Structure 1
């Protein structure tokens, strides 16, 4: 079916149908919804090249990954995020442009994307404290949304984040409530904003219960199985080892569990583990009964929401910054139990 045939079925002009499908604001919402529903019903897809010519848009969204963060490309969390975002792009006839670049070329890559008109906007991954990308993207006028928040940023920007501080605070308090006082944190890289907030939540929970932090029970590094294993193995060999761990991801938690079992201990009995981000498409946390107790927040859902926020900004460039703060849910699994006596 072409545009003219769809317009005839709806009793509208081809111009009205085209403008509704391309997001022009002068079409009222009721008419737009009727047109979008009819387009889906009859499997009509606008000609992307025609849209580009008519609107001046690239009909593509950019994701720039610096080589220093290349681990993101093989991380199931990143894959789930991109899958969620991709579903939103597909529904709106947008493509995704992924650029993997040397660290020193990252800023110039954003400038090139703007100058060449390759994308209509970008999603910023892995925000850091005082992240240079926020003022840069505002300066060059490229629409963007940040997945996370950047502590220290002085200019307004749109973001979507999980309440990382509260999630880890709740996880640590759950372990404290089970009688654990030697609680270890196996965190992500703490120059990343999310990991910094998670450490704050952990420390706040300890402080509330009058427990001084022990640097030997705090690790910051890549969220991989091997990093979790090595960190937990070192901590379990201490004269006063931890009886519980808060791990930054499922991969980290799997490494911690391997270290616990290698030490001849039982997870959930001798040592408790709580993980973050267990709701992954291709790495499930058990079936009916979760293997790990976890702070759950759907990364795939976050990807879809961030993509929608960005497409809304592209369609309405004069709108102000928007924010979404998601809360993680505590999921009870088999990896936690009361602190061992003695």
Structure 2
């Protein structure tokens, strides 16, 4: 069935049908549901060119995909994109990727604006001093940020998780278990999420009266090789009396390398070292699948992808007009990879004998 036939069947104009399918706020909800139901029943799929002419929209949301020799395809992005795609399917919206090296990002956004190939874009991997926000505003492209920059901090719509709160709670757990020497294998602190996470750890240490010097902090891209390399540097030649007893990891992928290093060094989790990692609920990499189930700060990046798509479509259609700043809480899931600090464990083991005396 084509648009003209659907229009005749429903006795509605073709413009009204197009606007109903594309979420325009001026179409009443009763009419929208009637159109959606008829479109599903009769297998109507809007022609992209006709839709663009009728609505002035491309029916697509876009993303400038960083490429180049120094850019790895992040598994977090694949999971995020899956969530976006699932929701885009329900809204009959296409996803458009524009590959560009970082030094040519501005050119890519200008090309998108000139071609009107997408109705809006989402920005991810927010940097500390984020230049893309002012650029897409200047170009008049509707946008939504996944994450938030340090500068500017306000005045734009975003969806983020509470990175600072998550790592504050994780560090606090280790401190409550008696760990006095912590290591944090963080993400790249050129990106705001890693700065927020570091701030959370430092805040927890300050609350426990520990100096920042008690934390060994390392910043790197979140992958298995960096996790392994940094863990080996921290523990291979370190004196057991002074090395960290608690480790925070910014990613499950870094943790793969960290655990590999611990295994090679003969270190037991949590007897010799406790570890907490950030878990994005990957179906192919679960914290329970490790030899010692991992304590995690948990947040679904797939759910974030679906929510980003939902909100960006609403921004494009005018349903969401204000600069809504949405921050999701992060859950701390305690499993077997965390336990009392080694010194605290020895004290606990002596107590029954002391009590018997």
TM-score (norm 1): 0.92
Kept in 2: contact 1:22–1:51 (CA 8 A):
no
2:54 corresponds to 1:54: yes
Corresponding residue of 1:326 = 328
Query: What is the 5 A alignment of 1:272-291?
Result: 272-286=274-288, 291=293
Corresponding residue of 1:260 = 262
Deviations 1:132-182 (A, max 9, x none): 101111111111111100112166111000000000000001111111111
Q: Which whole-Å CA distance do the structure 2 matches of 1:339 and 1:69 have between them?
A: 42
Corresponding residue of 2:249 = 247
2:90 corresponds to 1:91: yes
Deviations 1:168-224 (A, max 9, x none): 000001111111111110000001000000000011111110111237711000101
Corresponding residue of 1:147 = 146
The secondary structure found in structure 2 opposite 1:309 is helix
Corresponding residue of 1:183 = 182
Q: Which whole-Å CA distance do the structure 1 matches of 2:229 and 2:291 have between them?
A: 27
Q: Shift in Å at residue 93 of structure 1?
A: 2.2
Q: Which whole-Å CA distance do the structure 2 matches of 1:154 and 1:216 have between them?
A: 27
Corresponding residue of 1:24 = 24
Kept in 1: contact 2:280–2:301 (CA 8 A):
no
The secondary structure found in structure 2 opposite 1:286 is helix
Q: Please list every run of 5 or more consecutive structure 2 residues that lacks an aligned counterpart in the other structure.
A: 347-357
Q: Shift in Å at residue 244 of structure 1?
A: 1.2
Q: Which whole-Å CA distance do the structure 1 matches of 2:197 and 2:161 have between them?
A: 11
Q: Name the CA shift for 1:38/1:332 in 2 (closer, same or farther; >3 Å).
A: farther
Q: Which whole-Å CA distance do the structure 2 matches of 1:48 and 1:287 have between them?
A: 44
Q: Name the CA shift for 1:80/1:290 in 2 (closer, same or farther; >3 Å).
A: farther
In terms of Rg, which structure is larger? 2
Q: Shift in Å at residue 66 of structure 1?
A: 3.1
| Bigger Cα displacement from structure 2, 87-96 vs 136-145 | 87-96
Kept in 2: contact 1:276–1:295 (CA 8 A):
yes
Q: Shift in Å at residue 104 of structure 1?
A: 1.9
Corresponding residue of 1:295 = 297
Kept in 2: contact 1:72–1:78 (CA 8 A):
no
| Bigger Cα displacement from structure 2, 202-211 vs 231-240 | 231-240
| Bigger Cα displacement from structure 2, 149-158 vs 174-183 | 149-158
Q: Name the CA shift for 1:289/1:208 in 2 (closer, same or farther; >3 Å).
A: same
Query: What is the 5 A alignment of 1:189-200?
Result: 189-200=188-199
Q: Name the CA shift for 1:179/1:85 in 2 (closer, same or farther; >3 Å).
A: same
Q: Name the CA shift for 1:234/1:30 in 2 (closer, same or farther; >3 Å).
A: same
2:202 corresponds to 1:203: yes
* Number of corresponding residues: 340
2:77 corresponds to 1:78: yes
| Bigger Cα displacement from structure 2, 293-302 vs 103-112 | 103-112
Corresponding residue of 2:351 = none
Q: Shift in Å at residue 119 of structure 1?
A: 1.3
Kept in 2: contact 1:272–1:335 (CA 8 A):
yes
Query: What is the 5 A alignment of 1:215-230?
Result: 217-230=216-229
| Bigger Cα displacement from structure 2, 39-48 vs 136-145 | 39-48
Corresponding residue of 1:234 = 233
TM-score (norm 2): 0.88
Kept in 2: contact 1:48–1:93 (CA 8 A):
no
Kept in 2: contact 1:86–1:304 (CA 8 A):
yes
Q: Which whole-Å CA distance do the structure 2 matches of 1:160 and 1:231 have between them?
A: 31
Query: What is the 5 A alignment of 1:32-181?
Result: 32-67=32-67, 71=71, 73=73, 75-153=74-152, 156-181=155-180
The secondary structure found in structure 1 opposite 2:270 is coil
Q: Name the CA shift for 1:290/1:114 in 2 (closer, same or farther; >3 Å).
A: farther
Q: Name the CA shift for 1:223/1:215 in 2 (closer, same or farther; >3 Å).
A: farther
